[in-house]
């Protein structure tokens, strides 16, 4: 995982009860971490696909996605490298909206998110449905920068942030769990920060 040059962080305690175990409040900073080289994604040629165990696989262009009913998340995010960013906001579209269009089949239990770079991460469907996950293109009212996954990234804020795949282009529904990039390298399959699920066995 790469960290942006010059980042030092500000180790503030944060509000009691807001920070999961082992985390610190990063304040106004937002560290840039990535497992691969930062791509340059052209929104005019980018698409988002939902496929796999669905009744009707769907593909959205940038314009198609932006035409869907918008949704905003306001709250906290937490990184496995121990920083947390409080009171942040992202705007995009709920994953529920996308899945409703594609129609998950009864046997669908998990998903794999795939990025333009080939990066993957896995999650149970229960962690991306019911208002728990988004595909976002704005942060704090501004376009999401490429370093943070722009033009669009996944947002799963109740889990460690490696689950919020940058530069996302595919959501594949499966009838089984299939570990992604960090999971096969020893990271936890789910990544709940309140349970400190950082690594396999946690």
Check pLDDT > 60 for residue 68.
yes
Q: Stretch 23-52: mean pLDDT, rounded?
A: 88
Q: CB within 8 A of 127, min separation 6: which ones?
A: 133, 156, 158, 159, 163, 190
CA distance 197 to 159: 9
User: Which parts of the chain fold into alpha helices (H)?
Assistant: 62-66, 95-102
Backbone dihedral angles phi then psi of residue 157, each to the nearest 5 degrees: -70, -15
pLDDT digits (tens, 9 = 90+) for 142-171: 999 999 999 999 999 999 999 999 999 999
| pTM score | 0.89
DSSP letter, residue 64 = H
User: Can you give the residue ranges of every domain in the chain?
Assistant: 44-188
For the beta carbon of residue 154, count every other beta carbon within 10 angstroms: 25
pLDDT digits (tens, 9 = 90+) for 91-150: 999 999 999 999 999 999 999 999 999 999 999 999 999 999 999 999 999 999 999 999
**Per-residue DSSP letters for 105-127?**
-TT--EEEEEETTS-EEEEEGGG
Fold annotation for 44-188: Sulfite Oxidase; Chain A, domain 2 (3.90.420)
């Amino acid at each position: 995982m790469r960290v942006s040059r010059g980042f030092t962080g500000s180790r503030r305690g944060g509000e009691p009860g807001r920070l999961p175990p082992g985390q610190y409040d990063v304040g106004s900073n937002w560290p840039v971490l990535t497992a691969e080289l930062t791509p340059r994604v052209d929104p005019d040629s980018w698409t988002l696909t939902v496929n796999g165990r669905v009744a009707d696989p769907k593909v959205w262009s940038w314009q198609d996605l932006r035409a869907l009913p918008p949704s905003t998340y306001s709250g906290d995010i937490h990184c496995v490298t121990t920083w947390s960013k409080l009171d942040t906001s992202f705007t995009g579209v709920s994953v529920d909206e996308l899945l409703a269009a594609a129609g998950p089949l009864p046997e669908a239990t998990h998903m794999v998110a795939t990025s333009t770079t080939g990066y993957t991460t896995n999650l149970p469907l229960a962690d991306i449905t019911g208002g728990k996950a988004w595909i976002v293109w704005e942060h704090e009212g501004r376009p999401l920068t490429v370093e943070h996954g722009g033009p669009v990234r996944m947002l799963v804020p109740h889990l460690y942030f490696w689950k919020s795949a940058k530069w996302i282009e595919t959501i594949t529904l499966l009838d089984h769990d299939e570990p992604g990039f960090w999971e096969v390298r020893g990271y936890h399959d789910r990544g709940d920060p309140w349970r400190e699920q950082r690594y396999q066995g946690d």
